[in-house]
Amino acid sequence: MASIVLSSCCVWPKPSLPNPKWTAGNRRRCGALALRVGPRGSEVPVGRAYPVVFRNLDADDFRHPLDKQNTLLLRAIPGLNELGKALLGPVAEQVMLLENIGTSVLVSENQLSNLHQLMVEAAKVLNTEAPDLYVRQNPAPNAYTLAISGRKPFIVVHTSLVELLSRRELQAVLAHELGHLKCDHGVWLTFANILTLGAYSVPGLGGLIAQSLEEQLYRWLRAAELTCDRAALLVAQDPKVVISVLMKLAGGCPSLSDHLNVDAFLEQARSYDKAASSPVGWYIRNAQMRQLSHPLPVLRAREIDEWSRSQEYKSLLKRAIQAEVAQKV
């Protein structure tokens, strides 16, 4: 989305009542010292209570190629970083900070401790510092990240998302948001969004400059989302968990969530690729995507399915397992 508040992934419902999907019997995790063959040939760790930890993980280890390419394009814009800092002054910082803190519940060891545990664990797996986490009452499922210069970043999740997702799916969403922070997406999102909004007020060519920058920003945002889906997989360590989140975002609700089929959704993604392969389909798909801040859910599902079977992902997982074994010896 093109807004002052930073982008992200998902949806969330209210945590006031116990979610049956969050019971102790549903706390099984991936992560282990061995791999098994998962969906469509992917390899996932098994046999342990917690995920494998990526102790030396760098953002570029999982950054999507399109994210790298479009980040370079943004950095090539003269003065973007400096102008963004000028636009994001102390007043704007305070407004965004108070808006989120004043209308949400801060998660901690003593407040919604299950959510706190999921965040701390996901941050450990991704080798990054856990930000503050807030839960905000909102019927529209969403989660977003805010990184303000000089302040500790924080993640906000809407209550509607909590009720929609299982415990592991919810942690995948938190991992997605952590991916934004680990890759420094927050700063670019804030600066670029404010710059785009400000450019519309420039007389003469302001509108043209803003339109061009907005299109470039959207391309970067979509690529950044693909990177953060990878961060979600690194924590979930099972592509079906991440794909299930995307499927529920596309057409899920609490009453239907237990009846959705991940394999059928992947088949739907392949049918979309087939329908868009003709010249007319290609044009329609590009027109459809041009003004979207996030890639289509079916395309994100296909991307994460393919990356889960890639040598790049398998090598990252193998390296983490080997480091864990070496530490135990």
In tens, the pLDDT along 177-190 reads 999 999 988 766 66
Mean pLDDT of all residues in the chain? Answer: 78
Instruction: Say if CB 64 and CB 230 are below 8 A apart.
Output: yes
Looking at the predicted structure, is the pLDDT value of residue 243 above 80? yes
Assigned token pair, 238: 């099972």
Q: Which conformational region is residue 50 in: left (phi greater than 0), alpha (psi within -120 to 50 degrees), or beta?
A: beta
Catalytic residue IDs = 177
Looking at the predicted structure, is the pLDDT value of residue 40 above 60? no
How many Cα atoms are found within 13 Å in the side-chain-facing hemisphere of 188? 26
Stretch 270-296: mean pLDDT, rounded?
Answer: 78
**How far apart are the C-alpha atoms of 201 and 207, rounded to whole Å?**
8
Percent of the chain with pLDDT over 70: 70
Looking at the predicted structure, is the pLDDT value of residue 11 above 60? no
Stretch 268-294: mean pLDDT, rounded?
Answer: 78
pLDDT of residue 32: 36
The tens digit of pLDDT for each residue in 219-242 reads 888 999 999 999 999 999 999 999
How many Cα atoms are found within 13 Å in the side-chain-facing hemisphere of 258? 6
Q: pTM of the prediction?
A: 0.80
The tens digit of pLDDT for each residue in 118-148 reads 999 999 999 999 999 999 999 989 898 887 6
The tens digit of pLDDT for each residue in 183-215 reads 988 766 666 555 544 544 445 444 545 566 677
Residue for token pair 């982008």: 7
Q: Which is more confident, 34 or 291?
A: 291
